[in-house]
Amino acid sequence: MKKARPDTSQPKVRISSRQLSCITAGFTLGSSLIFTGGLRYGARDTWISEAISTVLGLLIIWMLSLLLKKFPGKNLLEILTALTGPFLGRLFLLCYIWYSLLIAALVIYTIQSLSTTAVLPETPGWVFCLTLVFSIGYIIRKGLEPTARCAELYMPVVFPVLTVLFLAAWFEVDPSYLQPLFAAGWAGFFKSLLVVTAFPDAELFILAGIAVYVRDSAKILSGFCIGYLLAAAFLIVRPLLSVGIFSVPEAEQVIFPTYMLARIIHFGNFVERIEIFLLFTWFFIVFIKAAACVFVSVDNLAQLLKAQDFRPFVYPFCVLLVPLSLIAYGGFQEVPEFLSQVLPVLSFPVSFIALPLLLLISRRR
């Protein structure tokens, strides 16, 4: 009698809703914490744009959660194939992979720009890119669960540090700089709303590739909402601090306003230049967002190619990301134009057209 062969297949990957919350918070903050794209258009009204975009972000999360809840245990390829057919499903997934890779390149470019501009200007940018990218590749090769545990470890440290920094900066605010409202006009307000919604709220659909691995699909919505709302609170306060401390003309010209805020915070005459704490926490946040983008890219590419494991694709993607993050933008002055003109064209059709249509199709089937 032949003995049964032991099951050598890998166990099904699963993460908790708490870990999803931590990943969502890190993804939402990401490079948005340092760079405020809407300030140059909305000025004093940017915080209102951020508040409205938070509502839109919650709408995206709600639609995404409803869609994933209807297909428990299914991956993105299986969901898209069931709703749109094999050809369109694979085409949509290929676009999803490309978009995730583009956002990862933007995140890595932001961190190397800040590092070479404000921290270590004499260090080549590729050094930061290479270090971050291959650190991300190392943890992703360990699997989604170790990556999620990293986020679960980092975020409880990140939030208290950011809270202390923001509270300390609030004492430097001049209330007169925050008035009057709607001075930029309705055109500036809506353009600001366009930018802050595209970056980062309309990017949230990327997290679908991670949410499919949550143990209990009924807890996907709560996991999304907790992490997203915690992060959104900081994004709403951030432009208030920038304008209230620097005034509108200067805040519009500062490239990294949150970093400059941290530089002016002081406690008495003996605790100054504490921006290192902001950079320390921000590197963790950026790591989480970039890792999420790279993971969903390689994981869904493996599904698309019917590969048994995504790990062989990790380092090739990392090698591709380094030059892409260095050459994707001619300079940081091009990033605001990308956020206001290109990113909405890429993300809005998915978040506000394709996602509702997919949800409608799933309800009819």
Neighbours of 308 (CB within 10 A): 9
pLDDT recorded at residue 221: 95
The residues spanned by each domain of the chain are: 17-364
Tokens of 331: 């300079």
- Percent of the chain topping pLDDT 70: 94
Question: Which listed CATH number (2.60.40.10, 1.10.8.80, 3.30.2010.20, 1.20.1740.10) goes with 17-364?
Answer: 1.20.1740.10
Contact 33, 234 (CB under 8 A): yes
- Percent of the chain topping pLDDT 90: 53
- Gap between the Cα atoms of 90 and 81, Å rounded: 7
Check whether 7 has a pLDDT greater than 70. Answer: no
Mean pLDDT of 328-357: 84
**Runs of H (alpha helix) within the chain:** 17-29, 39-42, 46-69, 76-84, 86-114, 125-141, 144-170, 185-198, 208-211, 220-246, 248-253, 257-264, 275-304, 314-327, 335-337, 343-349, 355-364
pLDDT recorded at residue 281: 87
